[in-house]
Structure 1
């Protein structure tokens, strides 16, 4: 997203470039980094990167609802040990979390009527009750899981660009029941949410500090 400079005291025009980034954190990171680099080299850098799409919802996020991340977490980046999962940060290196600007996340959730909480990025979609319980035990504030947010956030952080993640819930996290998925409803909810978000994004200014 770019905010173009307008005349003094006039609202800045909102320009949004939509980029299909592929499936999974690696594809999302590569596509985002390429777009951010090209924009920076052209002298038209982005003000904000938004990871948007559908995902699975935990209990707090019903089918068809929208979630906004106040934390974007790589839930399976680490090592499996005899004592359970250890994040790379537990091993003494790397990062597993990026935080969108707090004021923007609050305003976006309010405008879209969205649930706000942690959105997990996974490379393997959860398909069992045991895995769901494990994720919630480690991330009690999780509202949804998806596969691209952390990749977008990593690329954005490398460029010093803030990030936001917005998801619409197409299915419940847990045992896979493909017949219960509501992808069309989730996409419709996502489109409606972005209609409500336009004024927020057009007037947002980065949180100080």
Structure 2
């Protein structure tokens, strides 16, 4: 993308390959314990695994290897497809997070859900660099808002409604962003999350999913990021 070193973490190889198609050149594989970095034209990508725990572990491995090798990353990007909250994030649209939030990290009580922060622990939200989010949205036409990380994908209208009530700015849900962000934060590296919407959040209707369209939108979106990151100053807020 530029002299800025970027690590892109997807959940599965199909998403990784969709991002890689935005770039040119042969792919070089760099095996690490538990994950393989795919380098194409200087762009590093990993299929980090499904879910926040596996994504965090794989991303941390890649970040640590780069740091120990003397070539630390300047930015980590969690990328892939996602469910979108209708009508704010329609099928095929691209969304970029200005907040990456763990939606189900906490406790269920008789009075409702309590996030882990209200229990006195940790955090539930990471905030990507504001200026970078803004220029990426302008370059790609992506919508900006909260992207939720869940450990259990939403499959009912009731849960979709409950999530939107707790997180009224939510545009999409996926399963890895918060884990990737936790690993990035541990290394003091900024993080982004970019998702292409493949299905609506709510009742599971596989016939309505548009995974191919979402993967194509992901490729197109990353194709527009080269100039953005070439102009980005990693020290901007």
Separation (CA, whole Å) in 2 of partners of 1:149 and 1:181: 21
Q: Considering only aligned residues, what root-mean-square deviation do their CA atoms show, in Å?
A: 1.5
So what's the TM-score if we normalise by structure 2? 0.82
2:180 aligns with 152
Separation (CA, whole Å) in 2 of partners of 1:174 and 1:104: 30
Match of 2:157 among 129, 134, 144: 129
Aligned-pair CA distance for 1:110: 1.0
Pairing 1:3–2:31 present: no
Separation (CA, whole Å) in 2 of partners of 1:155 and 1:70: 18
Q: Is the CA contact (8 Å cut-off) linking 1:127 and 1:176 kept in structure 2?
A: yes
Q: Which has the higher strand share?
A: 2
Pairing 1:44–2:71 present: yes
Separation (CA, whole Å) in 2 of partners of 1:194 and 1:170: 16
Aligned-pair CA distance for 1:3: 2.5
Aligned-pair CA distance for 1:20: 0.5
Alignment of 1:38-187 (within 5 A): 38-59=65-86, 60-187=88-215
Separation (CA, whole Å) in 2 of partners of 1:2 and 1:152: 22
Match of 1:19 among 23, 39, 46: 46
Aligned residues: 201
Listed as ranges, the gaps of 5+ residues in structure 2 are: 6-40
Q: Is the CA contact (8 Å cut-off) linking 1:25 and 1:152 kept in structure 2?
A: yes
Separation (CA, whole Å) in 2 of partners of 1:207 and 1:76: 31
Separation (CA, whole Å) in 2 of partners of 1:54 and 1:90: 30
So what's the TM-score if we normalise by structure 1? 0.93
Q: Is the CA contact (8 Å cut-off) linking 1:2 and 1:47 kept in structure 2?
A: no
Aligned-pair CA distance for 1:15: 3.4
Classify the secondary structure of the residue corresponding to 1:90.
helix
Q: Runs ≥4 in structure 1, deviation > 3 angstroms? A: none
